[in-house]
Chains A and B, each alone.
Chain A
Amino acid sequence: QVQLVQSGTEVKKPGASVKVSCKASGYTFTSYGITWLRQALGQGLEWMGWISAYNGNTNGNTNYAQKFQGRVTLTTDTSTSTAYMELRSLTSDDTAVYFCALELGIRLDYWGQGTLLTVSS
């Protein structure tokens, strides 16, 4: 069965970077894209970006929300069926649960369990 398993809880200081992983199984990794989203406490779901797992973050195969442009990088490792989300220059506003999800065209069918990121000095 399809599974997305994310890396564990992270605690970072302001200004630092974080890299969250999302290991996929149960389907052909390169057939679909991976979406990254987050939810801060008390806030709604926020779409961060999408990456095609077919050929990773080569030009034209990623899409980012304007809000995160220049601060987030999505990558994939097809040898391990793993997607990564790196977020830089962290502030307390980045404290949130981060999710990866498998995008089957027009829907997010399967989700990772979420990764809690806390940014605090």
Chain B
Amino acid sequence: DIQMTQSPSSVSASVGDRVTITCRASQDISTYLAWYQHIPGKAPKLLIYGASTLQSGVPSRFSGSGSGTDFTLTISSLQPEDFATYYCQQANSFPRTFGGGTRVEIK
């Protein structure tokens, strides 16, 4: 199975800050990488797929980059509604696997 390692596990930030989350795959997954936002009590929401394609309706302050084994999710200017947990997931092969999550907290 492909292991997905996210860092950091949590980050404290203020509104307006730039936040960067990294995700590393245990083997080459090309650009078969998606990012999800999860707010407790709600269903997870797709933000980015194909490593860098912004899902329709997602604000442009979210961006993704990377290929192969190293990937990044960036929130350019954190907004109050962005405080949540973020997960990367590889879609290169079955079984699909998720990173452990990064909790973005209010500073």
Task: For A45, give its contact among B1, B44, B91, B94 (CB under 8 Å).
Answer: B44
A15 CB, nearest partner CB in chain B, Å: 26
Q: Across the interface, do A99 and B43 meet the contact criterion of CB distance under 8 Å?
A: yes
User: A35 at interface (Cβ–Cβ under 8 A)?
Assistant: yes
Q: Which residues of A lie under 8 Å from residue B32 when comparing CB positions?
A: 106
Binary contact track A26-39/B, C-beta < 8 Å → 1, others 0: 00000000010001
Q: Across the interface, do B98 and A44 meet the contact criterion of CB distance under 8 Å?
A: yes
Instruction: State the A residues within 8 Å of B (CB).
Output: 35, 39, 44-47, 49-50, 63-66, 99, 101, 105-109, 111-114
- For chain B, which range describes its interface: under 10, 10 to 19, 20 to 34, or 35 or more residues? 20 to 34
Interchain CA distance A101-B98 in the complex, whole Å: 14
B18 CB, nearest partner CB in chain A, Å: 24
Q: A106-B50, A106-B91 are in contact. List 13 more A-B contacts (CB 8 A).
A: A39-B38, A44-B100, A45-B38, A45-B44, A45-B87, A47-B89, A47-B96, A47-B98, A66-B95, A99-B43, A107-B50, A109-B55, A112-B43
A25 CB, nearest partner CB in chain B, Å: 16
Interchain CA distance A56-B55 in the complex, whole Å: 28
Chain B stretch 58-103: residues in CB contact (< 8 A) with chain A: 85, 87, 89, 91, 94-101
Q: Across the interface, do A50 and B94 meet the contact criterion of CB distance under 8 Å?
A: yes
A53 CB, nearest partner CB in chain B, Å: 16
> Which among B55, B94, B95, B99 has the highest number of chain A CB atoms within 10 Å?
B95
Q: Across the interface, do B36 and A108 meet the contact criterion of CB distance under 8 Å?
A: yes
Q: Which residues of B lie under 8 Å from residue A66 when comparing CB positions?
A: 1, 95
Task: For B49, give its contact among A64, A65, A107, A112 (CB under 8 Å).
Answer: A107
Interchain CA distance A99-B98 in the complex, whole Å: 14
Interchain CA distance A113-B41 in the complex, whole Å: 9
Q: Which residues of A lie under 8 Å from residue B89 when comparing CB positions?
A: 45, 47, 108
